Structure 1
Amino acid sequence: MIVENVLRPGFEALRDRFAAHFARDDEFRELGAALVVYRHGEKVVELYGGWQDDAASQPWGERTLTNIWSASKGVLALAIAQQVDTGVLDYDAPVARWWPEFAQAGKGSITLGQVMSHRAGLNGFSEPTTAQDLYDWELVTARLARQAPLWQPGSLVAYHGMTYGWLAGEVLRRATGLTPRDYIAAHIAAPLQADLALGVPAARAADVATIVPPQADGKAVELNSFAIHCVRNPVPDAAAANQPGWRSAQLPAVNVHASADGLARLYAALANGGRLDGATLLSPAGLARLVAPRGAAEDQMLGARQWAAGVALSLGGLYGPRADAFGHSGWGGSFGCADPASGRGIAYITRRMGSALNGDPRARGLVELATKM
């Protein structure tokens, strides 16, 4: 049963598409999911359905949280953009300005902008790295600081799936004195009254949906020698998201937990000049810097993808038909995006992960209708 908390006239087709996903007969049949759309600061759609858990004992509710995987990167991108906006950080300055140890092994000229746009040459680890290592912030950041680039920084774009979080997150920590978790709580979630957090707050453990890992991708792309670094040492394990260690760790690239409304509020602000309900997250100039294209629209792992400073632009209809739309998607289908032309902030979260590396069919269908003028 689909709950229609909010459904303004004109969005009935979006509701029907969302509901139809619960009746699919393939790997993309929803088990529990939510969708929220804001338009010019007003919530116009809030839909959810299914169950939080495998036993179907906890109905999905408006406060249900989901690990949103790489949609987390958009949250961290906003945090960095805020500090660029204040002049504390600078996309064009070397990372070593704030993190001196990072200059080791020939990395002294790598800029913050190259980190944010997946051009830093550090999309994996050189040293043997276990899944348990990823929970140790000091260990991982020290490892990245002493590591030589895996390819020439700035020469190409290759998605930094996990390492993006520690690279950008350590710059944020050095510049502000706050861990990424505390920064996001104080400077994004609190002013927005957005239900999202890095990791899971202890008081919210009962609200977290169980992740269902994806099936093997029947159309898997063979990764080249640049992209392969992203998915080995260690090999990603979707089931890890259900473990206490994952939920308590700070993995800024992949373990923000959010309700659909929480993530949608972030993008609702960005779709409306950086402001929502009296809270200002970014100035117009700061927002423009966040979404300015950086480098070629070609990613060695993801294919045609136009990166800005930590968010992807809507190349090929990724976030609807308008080129100025932007956002970030996560492994398995969840996403958040802003469509400034229509003033819409959109978020879709799901616990059943799809296998498609690019273009989850549920997400594609929803964003098409959610951005329709």
Structure 2
Amino acid sequence: MTEIHGTVAPGFEGVRDAFAANWEHHGEVGASVCATVAGEVVVDLWGGTATFDDGDHDWQEDTIINVWSTTKTMSFLCCLLLADRGELDLYEPVATYWPEFAAAGKENIATRHILSHSAGLSGWDEPLQRDDLLDPAKLVQLHAAQAPWWEPGTASGYHAISQGYLLGEIVQRITGESLGQFFADEIAGPLDADFHIGTGPEHDDRIAHVIAPDAPLGADTGVLQPGSLAVRTLANPALDASFSSTKPWRRAEIPAAGGHGNARSVAAIHTLTANNGVANGQRIISEEGLARIFDEQIRGMDQVLGTDLVLGMGFGLPGPMLPLPNPRSCYWGGWGGSLAIIDMDANISFSYVMNKMESTTTGDLRGAGPLMATYAALMA
């Protein structure tokens, strides 16, 4: 039986049991799970094994890993913070901040469209190679010149990789800093959270490698027909998850998919969200600023994922995809299974992070079990 390390508050022992059951029932290899309630850590657990640059070792308390699209939640917070400060109007055309973006019929696309995956820029017209993902300047220039693939604001189409570069350019134009640096200075630093968008060499010896899924990115969507939006979005360039374990990927700022952290750091950051802008003894953003999350932008079948979504300002909202128990809840997750759940009614921040990836882009049972156990503990 896998040894589970860490702590649980009295009454939350069932979360430990659900987490441990992942090794017995779901083939877990290495993982961490964390939950905070009203700003207090009630679950902080890790266990299993992981492969690092120098070989296999136990998953440690400070192990971090690429969490794929769970990174997007950090990009969302950067934009919400700038909006809260009056520096970014989420409804104003992106071209207000990035004039070149207005080309090819994009003069009315606003940041809200990018946050809600409805900008029509889920991929690139130009054929790309894997290493192009390490060149944000090239990718944003291509998108500045490109026409949208559908009428912006009419439907979502998951901007799997592109969203981060687009939001990153907006943040850069407004602040003069990269999104990764802005996030480090304004959010992760004040919260003392061990999460990085652009991860320096000083962290290499504790970054776990992912165990890549057998299927390519997007194979779980069921809509990968030749020429479809899913193929155009997810297969250009084709992305092997093992690329994330290379140093060039770690160093690059890939704000939609390249963040490195663990469940503790993800939960710590979203303690801010769960507690209406206050965490680690500091107010980072106003309650009104966070309320923008629930400004619904789009609902319906996503054209890339083939999943029924309700999307606010970046975050997913309760709906058919994830029927969370409280209305002021939001979420996002990452390719392979990582997860961030925030319940602002119950002041819960929950995260699950692992190394063994499933092919899914929409979560799996390994995160769901500990999440349900967390809610069960609160209702006991």
Q: 2:103·2:144 contact (CA, 8 Å) conserved in 1?
A: yes
Q: Which residue of 1 aligns with 2:287?
A: 284
Q: Match of 1:306, SS?
A: strand
Give me the whole-angstrom Cα distance separating, in 2, the residues matched to 1:29 and 1:100. 49
| TM-score, normalization by structure 1 | 0.95
Offset, 1:260: 1.5
Q: How many residues align?
A: 370
Offset, 1:219: 5.9
Q: Are 1:163 and 2:162 an aligned pair?
A: yes
Give me the whole-angstrom Cα distance separating, in 1, the residues matched to 2:319 and 2:334. 17
Q: Match of 1:191, SS?
A: helix
Q: Residue 214 and residue 115 in structure 1: after superposition, are their counterparts in 2 closer, same or farther (change >3 A)?
A: same
- CA deviations on 1:298-325 (whole Å, 9 max, x unpaired) are 3223311111111111324737422321
Q: Match of 2:299, SS?
A: coil
Q: Are 1:333 and 2:318 an aligned pair?
A: no
Q: 1:319·1:327 contact (CA, 8 Å) conserved in 2?
A: no
- CA deviations on 1:253-280 (whole Å, 9 max, x unpaired) are 0011012111101111111111112222
Give me the whole-angstrom Cα distance separating, in 2, the residues matched to 1:314 and 1:240. 32
Q: Match of 2:341, SS?
A: strand
Q: 1:169·1:180 contact (CA, 8 Å) conserved in 2?
A: yes
Q: Which residue of 1 aligns with 2:152?
A: 153
Q: Are 1:367 and 2:368 an aligned pair?
A: no
- CA deviations on 1:6-35 (whole Å, 9 max, x unpaired) are 1112212211111011123xxx41111000
Q: Which residue of 2 aligns with 1:198?
A: 197
Q: Are 1:355 and 2:359 an aligned pair?
A: yes
Q: Match of 1:313, SS?
A: coil
1:1-373 correspondence runs (5 A): 1-24=2-25, 28-53=26-51, 57-216=56-215, 221-223=222-224, 225-302=228-305, 303-316=307-320, 318=322, 320-372=324-376, 373=379
- Aligned AA (1:363): G
Offset, 1:57: 3.4
- CA deviations on 1:319-373 (whole Å, 9 max, x unpaired) are 7422321121000000112112221111110010012333412122222222333
| TM-score, normalization by structure 2 | 0.93
Give me the whole-angstrom Cα distance separating, in 1, the residues matched to 2:220 and 2:315. 25
User: What's the RMSD between the two structures over aligned residues?
Assistant: 1.8
Q: Percent identity?
A: 34
5+ residue gaps, structure 2, are none
- Aligned AA (1:264): A
- Aligned AA (1:6): T
- Aligned AA (1:48): W
- Aligned AA (1:5): G
Q: Residue 337 and residue 278 in structure 1: after superposition, are their counterparts in 2 closer, same or farther (change >3 A)?
A: same
Give me the whole-angstrom Cα distance separating, in 2, the residues matched to 1:74 and 1:147. 26
Moved more, 297-306 or 31-40: 297-306
Q: 1:319·1:368 contact (CA, 8 Å) conserved in 2?
A: no
Offset, 1:56: 6.7
Q: Residue 174 and residue 291 in structure 1: after superposition, are their counterparts in 2 closer, same or farther (change >3 A)?
A: same
Q: Which aligned segments of 4 or more residues in structure 1 are displaced greater than 4 angstroms?
A: 217-220
Offset, 1:190: 0.5
Q: Match of 1:110, SS?
A: coil
Offset, 1:252: 0.3
Give me the whole-angstrom Cα distance separating, in 2, the residues matched to 1:147 and 1:316. 32
- Aligned AA (1:256): G
